[in-house]
Structure 1
């Protein structure tokens, strides 16, 4: 079971384990905003509801330049598991500018790709192939990207997560 953690200003920070959330509540560092229906948790001093969403009692400063790390899974998810060249189902990723030519592992240089397009393109650029990208690759934005662990959301979290831009 996982819990969404909100900053004191109600902006989403992270997703933590149920156990970690309960420790924050027990130590009075957070309060429960949304509860999970079911059996309460019995502590030595009190009975606690199972937290689905908690809010911190003190504001935590978050760096404004928070950026999602580039991962294979993230690129596939960003592109909707569709090939950036032909639109078919993607199972791998491709460097738009090949690494052998100085292409970096960045959100702007990686696209989801099907095996066929990846093999045909090989060590060339889309321009050399006469191909056009279906999307302009860029770093993902929105609540589910800036909040670590929020890719699998709970329905109780939706009103606290910003809509993806």
Structure 2
């Protein structure tokens, strides 16, 4: 069972995605309440069955440090929509340092973009300005809730209202 559960902070803001087991323990320890059971599934314990959580909310506010989205190739591609940030192609993608490594460019969200091998080679050790290859979009540090959406699979509908920022009173 590898269903994922969306964990909301006490103020209903998305906090993290965790496994059903972990969510279940949080609920069981009374650290959270079940907001919505997933499609009516049940988790069975020895003596009674519990609804399987899809969304849970913590009972007390957790001051979560910014949940960083890991800086990985895949996540940069994802942020950039799997498109070369110079020409827009989706073929032969790699990662480009906006300010080249050779010039002190570092590995950060703001200095790494998706580029196709052709543009990457063409740009070489130049900045976009010098190479006259303007970036289509300014690189940014993605927000965690955007990435939470990747875990949704079939649960999209159940989580949408929580991730879009419309927190109705449930």
Settle same-fold status: TM greater than 0.5: yes
Number of aligned residue pairs: give it. 159
Higher helix share: 2
Could you tell me whether the CA contact under 8 Å between 1:40 and 1:50 is conserved in 2? yes
Deviates more, 1:107-116 or 1:118-127: 118-127
Q: State the distance in 2 between where 1:5 and 1:52 align.
A: 9
- Return the alpha-carbon distance in structure 2 between the equivalents of residues 12 and 108 of structure 1: 24
| Unaligned 5+ runs, structure 1 | none
Partner residue of 1:77?
78
Q: Specify the alignment match of 1:112 in structure 2.
A: 114
**What is the CA deviation profile of residues 22-61 of structure 1, one whole-angstrom value per residue up to 9, with x for unaligned ones?**
1112222211111122542222343201111011122212
RMSD: 1.9
Moved more, 76-85 or 54-63: 54-63
Aligned to 1:161: 163
Q: State yes or no: 1:152 paired with 2:151.
A: yes
Instruction: Kindly state the Cα deviation for residue 134 of structure 1 after the two structures are TM-superposed.
Output: 0.9
Q: Which residue of 1 aligns with 2:168?
A: none
Give 1:49's aligned residue: 51
Structure 2 unaligned blocks of 5 or more: 166-170
In structure 1, the partner of 2:123 is 121
Aligned to 1:86: 87
Q: In the alignment, is residue 12 of structure 1 matched against residue 11 of structure 2?
A: no
Please say if residues 15 and 150 of structure 1, whose CA atoms lie closer than 8 Å, have aligned partners that are also in contact: no
**Runs of 4 or more above 6 Å deviation:** none
CA contact 2:69–2:144 (8 Å) conserved in 1? no
Aligned pair in 2 of structure 1 residues 70, 152: CA closer, same or farther (>3 Å)? same
